[in-house]
Every structure is written in C-alpha cells, then in structure tokens.
C-alpha cells in the first residue's frame, strides 16, 4: 500500500496537521516521499497511527505513547514496563476524578445555597470572588 497523507487521515480519523505534529515529535516516522515530494504511507503507518490515536483518546501523554511504541517494537520483552506506564496513567486518572468530584461538590453547594435573588447577593459570585468561602479550601 502506498497512500498520501489525506487518505491516511481518512483511514485513521486523525487530522493532517496532527499527523504532521506526530512526525515532528517523533511518534510517527518521517515517511518516504514520492517523486513529487508527497509523503507516502503504508499499512504499518496506518496501524501505528491508530495505536497513537487510541492511546491519546485514553488520555496517554505523548511521552508515554513514545515509550509504549518503543516497547511494542520488542514483542519478546516483558510487559512489566508497559504495565507500569498503564498503572501510572490510571493513578493520574483517579486523581483527576477525585479533583472533579470535589469540584462538582463545590459547584453543587454554591448553586444550592443560591438565594435566586440579585447578583450583588449571589452565593456563586461571592464564592468565586473569595476562595476562602469554598467548602474544600483549594482545588
């Protein structure tokens, strides 16, 4: 298979500028060029870009994806390092969920304390103006 960047984009759902970015940050290899200097891609590029897209959808950072791709190139290696990367990411997701739940609780509290009166007496505005009035102190 020998496809142009536009078709690669269509087949993977990754926009052309994002593909170019992935080449810049070395997640994607620099592709060979046609006689007309067009980038040309093959099946391995489609598979790699799908891996990158799915990893990004799951929230993995570029550096973690780079590590995973490097490990993926050595299929006989132990997957302990892959597991470690996934566990670190899961811990970060759990921290984000915890922060979002605290944020949700604070917003719910502010809204429930709202007197539905005037802006000058609004509990939401008051709390946003003075962080000390938040129930959880800091977010």
* 25 within domain boundaries: yes
Whether 89 and 40 map to the same domain: the answer is: no
Decide if 67 is inside a domain. Answer: no
Cα first-last separation, the chain: 50
Return the DSSP state at 120.
Answer: G
For residues 62 and 69, the answer to whether their CB atoms sit within 8 Å is no
pLDDT at site 116: 72
Same-domain status, 58 and 84: no
What are the residue ranges in the chain where pLDDT is below 70?
115, 117, 120-121, 133, 135-139
Check residue 139 and give its pLDDT. 46
Structure tokens at 26: 């070395």
Task: Name the β-bridge partners of 33.
Answer: 39
Tell the residue number behind the tokens 């926009």, with chain if given. Answer: 15
- Please indicate, yes or no, if residue 68 is contained in any of the structural domains: no
Residues 58 and 87 in one domain: no
Comparing CA positions, the residue from 31, 87, 45 lying closest to residue 64 is 87
* Domains identified in the chain, total number: 2
Residue 137 has what pLDDT?
54
Q: Tell whether 98 and 126 lie within a shared domain.
A: yes
- Give this prediction's pTM: 0.78
Whether residue 30 is contained in a domain is answered as: yes
Report d(CA 85, CA 132) in Å as an integer.
37
Give the residue numbers spanning the domain of 118. Answer: 80-133
């Amino acid at each position: 298979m020998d496809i142009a960047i536009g078709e690669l984009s269509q087949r993977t759902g990754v926009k052309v500028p994002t593909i170019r970015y992935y080449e810049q940050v070395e997640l994607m290899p620099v592709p060979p060029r046609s006689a007309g200097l067009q980038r040309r891609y093959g099946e391995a590029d489609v598979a790699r870009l799908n891996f990158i897209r799915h990893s990004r959808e799951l929230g993995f950072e570029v550096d973690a994806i780079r590590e995973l791709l490097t490990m993926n190139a050595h299929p006989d290696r132990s997957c302990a390092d892959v597991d470690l990367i996934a566990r670190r990411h899961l811990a970060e997701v759990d921290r984000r969920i915890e922060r979002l739940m605290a944020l949700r609780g604070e917003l719910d509290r502010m809204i429930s304390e709202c007197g539905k009166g005037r802006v000058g007496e609004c509990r939401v505005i008051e709390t946003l103006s003075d962080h000390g009035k938040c129930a959880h102190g800091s977010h």
